[in-house]
Structure 1
């Protein structure tokens, strides 16, 4: 008998897989869960780039409205145009030539570039240290979704199987590290300096300042 999730050989009468911890009745279809990240409540709205001009909505062109003309004014003869007035009218129809340097647009300072992502060092209870500066997954055997891409995939050695295969996700927002529990079996607890421990709700992102400790099952890591 083999495990339907990881394919490991199971002893007769086993109820759980000793390699991945899955139930012997679990199937890949029953273990598939939707991506919970659209329910995040901390970082949702995209940020407008610094220095970007507000969006201007241009409507359809407006057709000119003709002015009403009375019958008397339409056929009333006007005064004869003199040569002087004709010359003045032709001169007025010619736009003046702008002088050099007049009405030149003021130079626009370029928008400041976004600062590079910060680097955080994750020190695990297993003795490993990881310097991260992007997004990543942490677990015993982290496996991203087919539409996901992460900079780091961090595998944690845990013989007690208290850490889930894909336990949590991490990333950055405004130079701060955040973590998001990926519906792990034993949950994620954040211990910020001088604050009470806080259990994370699955699918929600939490900011983790430097000096904090994050418990994942029986293992943990500190953020430096």
Structure 2
């Protein structure tokens, strides 16, 4: 008999593996656990309905919404606007572009960032994820999830993506445009944009 976790050879009457300590009935599937990091977030309010923005977005797994498909089907968005907003799925994560952005938080904390990162109360990457920055912010009310938001760069511009947070993410651009972010999709955010995460926010400079 062999351990199904580490493969060590075991006596036929063994209950636990002498190498890794696993139960002889354990399997790789039974050892997998769901990520419960956002579960202790205090939900403060329901998100408002998404508004038409004319922005093309790309899911975190690299799949697109479809060739030239607008996120909300807005007829007002031009082809030029769509090109400006698309984030290519081939962008390598963790590759710093050399361009830095200042994130100024409502908590008084300020971070100078380049490349990509996670923002939250206790940000923690998933298995095999690599980030240049793990930004932990103060939020006594726990309106911000542990891993609330992911950010990165595309051709010198910053993008943000909600990580299925409890209270969601709202982008407010300098021109007054407000976007309720769909979890797992990337949104380009220019300097001067305010990004709201729960009861906290940060401004990109």
1:37 paired residue number: 60
2:90 paired residue number: 46
* Cα distance change, pair 165–220 in 1 and its aligned pair in 2 (3 A): same
Cα offsets for 1:143-196 (capped at 9, x unmatched)? 001110100000011010100000010000010000000000000000001133
* Cα distance change, pair 156–223 in 1 and its aligned pair in 2 (3 A): same
1:170 paired residue number: 151
Distance 1:117 1:133 in 2: 6
Q: Secondary structure of the equivalent of 1:206?
A: strand
Distance 1:130 1:182 in 2: 20
Distance 2:89 2:184 in 1: 16
Larger relative contact order (CA 8 Å, sep ≥ 6): 2
**Aligned match for 2:178, one of 191, 197, 211:** 197
Distance 2:143 2:126 in 1: 22
* Cα distance change, pair 122–40 in 1 and its aligned pair in 2 (3 A): farther
**Aligned match for 2:117, one of 136, 139, 145:** 136
Q: Does 1:146 find its partner at 2:127?
A: yes
Structure 1 segment 5-154 matched on structure 2, within 5 A:
29-31=33-35, 37-38=60-61, 41=64, 42-46=86-90, 116-154=97-135
Larger deviation, residues 177-186 vs 116-125: 116-125
TM norm structure 2: 0.58
* Cα distance change, pair 161–116 in 1 and its aligned pair in 2 (3 A): closer
On the 8 A contact 1:39/1:204 being kept in 2, the answer is: no
**Aligned match for 2:167, one of 186, 194, 200:** 186
Q: Secondary structure of the equivalent of 1:180?
A: strand
On the 8 A contact 1:181/1:187 being kept in 2, the answer is: yes
* Gap runs ≥5 in structure 2: 1-31, 38-58, 65-85
